[in-house]
Structure formats: C-alpha cells, structure tokens
C-alpha cells in the first residue's frame, strides 16, 4: 500500500516536471512531493475522522475509487486526443492522483499499524495536487480574464476616489499621460495559485483541525486577490506621478507583495493556533482492524486498473515504427492554370503558421467574372500537432470570429468529390460564402458528428487503431456560390483529382462507408 502511494507521487511528479519548469505560476510544484510526504507523516500525529463502521468506510472508498477510475480513463482519452503534455491532460492526472492518494489513506487509516490517518492533514496531501497541476487552457483563460477585469475595475474606482483621473477601457487603464495594460501575467492568477498552495502548506504545518486549515486556505485566496489589487494600484499611482515602472519598480513591488503575503499567512496561522494542541479520540484499534483486507483489495484493484490505463496510454503515444510520409507539394497541388480562371496566392496565410503549428499550408483564390472559389490545404507531420488541437480549427469555430454569420446550408448533392464533407454557409454583410471542409487524421476522415471533447473523439482512435502520432491534414473549399452548383466545374474536378493523386483523399474504406450511408 505504501509502495503504491510512493510510486503514484513519484510518477506524477516526474510527469508534471515540464509544467513546473516552464510555467512560472507552477514553479512551487517542485516542493510538492516533499510537502505531500510530510503531510502524510503529519497525519499520524493527529486524530482520525470518526467513520461510523466498516460499511461506511468501504462505501466511501468505493466511491473514491470509482470516481478516480473515471477521471483516469478520461485522462487517457485526453492523452490520445490532446497529447500527453496538454494542460487538460495534466489537470486530469492531478485529480486522478488526488483520488489515488485518498483511496490509499482510507485503506491505511483502518490498518492497526497506524502508518497514515484519515484527517485534514492527509486530505491536504491529496488536495495539494490540484494546486500544482495546470488548469485547462480554456478554464485558465476564463479565470485570468475575470481577475483582469476585477483588478482593473477596482483600481480605476480607487484611483478616482483618491482624486486621480482614470478611465477604464476593457483591460486598459487610461491615465492623464499614460496607458497601463493589465496583462494576463498581472491578473493575479500566479499569486492566487501560489497563495492557495502556501495556505495548504502553512495550515498543515502550523495548525490542527479541518476548520482552521480551511479558513487559512480561503484566507490565502482572498489575500492573493487583495495584494494583487494593491500592487496594481501602487503601479498606477507611480505612473500617475511620472515614475517609470517597466523595470525596477514593476519587479520590486511584485517581490515585495509576495513577501508581505507570506508573512501575513504566517502570522495568520499563529493567530489561529490554539494555546493547547487539539486532542481527540483516536479510532479504537479494533475498529481499524475490521475490514482492512477488503479495503486493501479495493485499492489494489484500483492500482491495477490505473496501471493498465497507463500502459494503454504509453502504447498509443509511443512512436510507431512506420515510414513518415513526405509532406505534399502544395504549390504544384493547388496552382491550377489554363482553365479560364484568374488566381492568386494568399500570402497573408503564412502569419497563421505559428498559431496552427505548421508551415505547410497554402490558400489559392480563383476568380472568373463574379464567381469566387478558394482552395485551402494545411498539413501536419506525425507529432507536429494533436488530433484535438487541429479539430479546434474548423470553419464554424474560426469564421464567426472574423465577422461571418452562420446561415442554413443548401440541399445536399447526391455525390461529392470526397466523402462526407462538413458543409457550412456564412454571410458577411451581403457577401455569402459556402464551405466544404474535411479533416483527415492518419489518412482517415474525422466525422463531423464526433465533437471536440476527449470522450467524443477518442472512440474513433480506439476503434480504428489510430495512433496518437500520425500525419493529418485539412482541406477547405469555399465559394460565393453554393458549391453543389459547381461540383462539375473543371476547376474543382482538377483540384480533387490532384488530391487523389497526392494521396490526400483518405482511405478507400471511408469512401465505401460514405457510399453505404448515402
């Protein structure tokens, strides 16, 4: 049992090392393994929670194990879809580790050896992993945006109250002679995470009892928000006084706030610390002896399932010994002349390469009279991106951000040049745009009904045996006329013939499946 906990702590720490090293707001994670072990050791010195009977303990552990297996399974799906080093995957691994530690603590707390007790100290050891794993990118963006708006609004109102002219423009504070932008790094998300971590550590080290420790953690969160507001207000006052803040003052005030926060947490714990240590009745040894074997078996089953899931994830992520296909020559593929169309290459598309994580992308725009047709192809080699990352960049998710409004699509055609296109229609002002879109992963079409969540995309990966590292590409054809009316146009027929010749038309199996569905 102890070995399984040590392995879980060591494996999770090794996995999270890149996030701790690259994310400043998670640099405190390097201390997490030491503090977790210390909290588990600290739990031995404190009374255990009173659990009424063996049946209640067994039910509680079973719920934890079921929840942990579900989270671990979703984490494996995130590995398959988003990749092992995605923030969503890491967050799920952190939660799964918390559940695993809690399951072990529940079993060990009933052991007569008394190695670990179930109390607020061991709960702190489990919860700490929530604060050292990165938040999913979407959640992080929403939290950062909320904190940015909060600190900007509070700073402007306070400046006006103090008699300093200030106007808020979103996340920008306009002063009489300067503009101050509250960036994501200044939102307070870093200090909030660090303060919550420090609150858990200080509370466990200096206090006893769940209410006091919980009060310290909640106070640490409130203190982080207040101190970040004071930091922002101080910088604004310095700028209003004509002092340059970009170098010394910006960093100095940040470190000062961190020091003041730490000292405040320390004295807060001293204030909450009772004069006499809390005493409580330990569980009777007889009650700890009862049912220990069954709880150990439940945890052993949990560990076995987690091990199988890890093996599955490693097997899927490990590079396959297959020949990497050569990226297509997009210029020769997409530049079509002598068909009565004028065409030009969209040179602005290269600026989206870093965002899409590929330089192999091209867009050709064709015009004849008042008819416009656009071809777009992007290609990713194995390991260059993940299925979930590319699946985010679909017309219905990207075009509305540029001002395009979704419209009903025209009736479908009886046959398409490539099977099962995703069909969209948009309008900007009075100008329409009809779109066909395909996304291929490992030469297989990703269906439009799959969705974007790991549990929606992963079944295709598991059912078809697709590996995580595989080439993928997207094809988009758009026109100001319904493309169903242009399906026999020589320009489109030539383009799709070249796609077939270049091996970018997907597997024949997908084509047969599409025809059977039709």
- The predicted-structure confidence for 336-358, as pLDDT tens digits, reads as follows 987 789 989 998 888 888 888 89
Q: How many Å apart are CA 268 and CA 219, to the nearest integer?
A: 9
Judged against a pLDDT cut of 60, whether residue 286 lies above it is answered with: no
Q: How many Å apart are CA 470 and CA 506, to the nearest integer?
A: 13
Contact residues for 269 (Cβ-Cβ < 8 A; gap 6+): 202, 203, 206, 207, 216
- Write down the H helix ranges in 448-489: 454-464
Running DSSP on this structure, what letter comes out for residue 408? P
513 — pLDDT class (breaks 50, 70, 90): very low
Task: Return the pLDDT at 285.
Answer: 44
Q: Are 4 and 104 in contact (CB under 8 A)?
A: yes
490 — pLDDT class (breaks 50, 70, 90): very high
- Per-residue pLDDT tens digits for 47-75: 888 776 677 878 888 999 999 999 999 99
Least confident of 93-97, 192-196, 287-291: 287-291
Residue with the bigger pLDDT between 288 and 298: it is: 298
451 — pLDDT class (breaks 50, 70, 90): low
Task: Find the distance separating the first CA and the last CA of the chain, reported in whole Å.
Answer: 56
Short-list 459, 461, 480, 457, CA closest to 470: 461
Task: Return the pLDDT at 275.
Answer: 58
280 — pLDDT class (breaks 50, 70, 90): very low
Judged against a pLDDT cut of 70, whether residue 385 lies above it is answered with: yes
Separation in Å, CA 388 to CA 14, 293, 396: 24, 42, 15
Report, as an integer, the average pLDDT of 429-449: 87
Report, in angstroms and rounded to the nearest whole number, the Rg of the chain calculated over CA atoms.
29
Task: Return the pLDDT at 8.
Answer: 94
Separation in Å, CA 164 to CA 28, 153, 214, 358, 362: 37, 14, 39, 48, 52
Say what percent of the chain tops pLDDT 70.
87
150 — pLDDT class (breaks 50, 70, 90): confident
Judged against a pLDDT cut of 90, whether residue 166 lies above it is answered with: no
Running DSSP on this structure, what letter comes out for residue 414? S
Strands 431-441 and 167-169, sheet pairing: unpaired
Give the count of beta carbons closer than 10 Å to the beta carbon of residue 174: 14
Report, as an integer, the average pLDDT of 235-254: 75
186 — pLDDT class (breaks 50, 70, 90): low
Task: Return the pLDDT at 461.
Answer: 63
Task: Return the pLDDT at 52.
Answer: 65
Residue with the bigger pLDDT between 36 and 229: it is: 36
229 — pLDDT class (breaks 50, 70, 90): confident
Residue with the bigger pLDDT between 202 and 238: it is: 202
Task: Return the pLDDT at 462.
Answer: 64
Report, as an integer, the average pLDDT of 424-438: 94
Judged against a pLDDT cut of 70, whether residue 39 lies above it is answered with: yes
Task: Return the pLDDT at 511.
Answer: 46
Report, as an integer, the average pLDDT of 273-286: 52
Q: Are 514 and 419 in contact (CB under 8 A)?
A: yes
Provide the whole-model pTM: 0.73
Q: How many Å apart are CA 507 and CA 270, to the nearest integer?
A: 68
Six-digit token string for 293: 């074997």
Report, as an integer, the average pLDDT of 410-420: 89
Least confident of 39-53, 115-129, 457-471: 457-471
Give the count of beta carbons closer than 10 Å to the beta carbon of residue 317: 17
Residue 31, phi then psi, degrees to nearest 5 = -90, -10
- The segment with the largest mean pLDDT, out of 73-87, 133-147, 214-228, is 214-228
466 — pLDDT class (breaks 50, 70, 90): low
Report, as an integer, the average pLDDT of 24-31: 88
DSSP for 418-466 reads SSS-EEEEEEETTEEEEEEEEEEETTEEPPTTS-SSHHHHHHHHHHHT-
Q: How many Å apart are CA 197 and CA 2, to the nearest integer?
A: 24
Task: Return the pLDDT at 250.
Answer: 67
3-class state of residue 398 by DSSP: helix
Mean residue pLDDT of the chain comes to 84
Q: How many Å apart are CA 480 and CA 496, to the nearest integer?
A: 19
467 — pLDDT class (breaks 50, 70, 90): low
Task: Return the pLDDT at 69.
Answer: 94
Residue with the bigger pLDDT between 392 and 463: it is: 392
């Amino acid at each position: 049992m102890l070995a399984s906990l040590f392995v879980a702590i060591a494996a999770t720490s090794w996995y999270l090392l890149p996030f701790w090293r690259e994310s400043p707001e998670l640099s405190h994670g390097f201390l997490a393994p030491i503090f977790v072990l210390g909290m588990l050791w600290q739990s031995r010195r404190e009374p255990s929670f009173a659990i009424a009977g063996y049946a209640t303990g067994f039910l509680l552990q079973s719920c934890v194990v079921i929840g942990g297996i579900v989270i671990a399974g979703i984490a494996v799906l995130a590995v398959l879809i988003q990749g092992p080093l995605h923030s969503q995957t890491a967050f799920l691994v952190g939660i799964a580790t918390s559940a695993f530690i809690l399951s072990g603590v529940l079993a060990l707390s009933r052991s007569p050896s008394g190695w670990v007790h179930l109390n607020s100290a061991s709960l702190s050891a489990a919860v700490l992993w929530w604060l050292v794993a990165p938040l999913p990118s979407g959640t992080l963006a929403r939290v950062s945006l909320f904190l940015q708006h909060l600190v900007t609004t509070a700073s402007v109102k306070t400046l006006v109250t103090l008699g300093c002219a200030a106007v808020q423009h979103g996340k920008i504070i306009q002063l009489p002679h300067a503009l101050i932008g509250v960036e994501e790094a200044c939102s307070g998300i870093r200090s909030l995470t660090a303060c919550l971590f420090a609150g858990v550590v200080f509370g466990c080290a200096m206090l006893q009892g769940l209410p006091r420790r919980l009060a310290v953690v909640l106070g640490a969160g409130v203190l982080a928000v207040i101190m970040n507001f004071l930091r922002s207000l101080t910088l604004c006052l310095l700028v209003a006084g004509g002092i340059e803040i970009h170098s010394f003052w910006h960093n100095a005030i940040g470190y000062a706030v961190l020091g003041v926060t730490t000292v405040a947490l320390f004295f807060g714990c001293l204030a909450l610390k009772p004069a006499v240590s809390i005493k409580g009745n330990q569980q009777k040894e007889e009650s700890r002896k009862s049912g220990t074997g069954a709880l150990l078996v439940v945890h052993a089953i949990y560990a076995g399932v987690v091990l199988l899931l890890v093996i599955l994830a490693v097997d899927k992520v490990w590079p396959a010994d297959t020949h990497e296909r050569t990226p297509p020559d997009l210029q020769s593929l997409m530049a079509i002349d002598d068909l009565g169309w004028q065409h030009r290459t969209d040179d602005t598309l290269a600026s989206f390469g870093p965002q899409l994580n590929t330089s192999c992308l091209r867009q050709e725009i064709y015009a004849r009279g008042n008819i416009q047709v656009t071809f777009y192809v992007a290609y990713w080699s194995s390991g260059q991106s993940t299925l979930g990352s590319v699946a985010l960049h679909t017309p219905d998710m990207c075009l509305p951000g540029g001002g395009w409004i979704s419209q009903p699509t025209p009736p479908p055609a009886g046959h398409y040049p490539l099977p099962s296109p995703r069909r969209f229609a948009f309008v900007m002002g009075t100008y329409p745009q009809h779109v066909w879109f395909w996304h291929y992963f490992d030469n297989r079409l990703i269906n439009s009904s799959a969705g974007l969540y790991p549990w929606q995309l992963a079944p295709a990966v598991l059912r078809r045996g697709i590996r995580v590292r595989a080439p993928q590409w997207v094809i988009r054809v758009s026109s100001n006329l319904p493309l169903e009316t242009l399906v026999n146009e020589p320009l489109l027929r030539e383009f799709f013939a070249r796609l077939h010749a270049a091996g970018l038309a997907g597997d024949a199996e997908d084509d047969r499946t599409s025809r059977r569905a039709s």
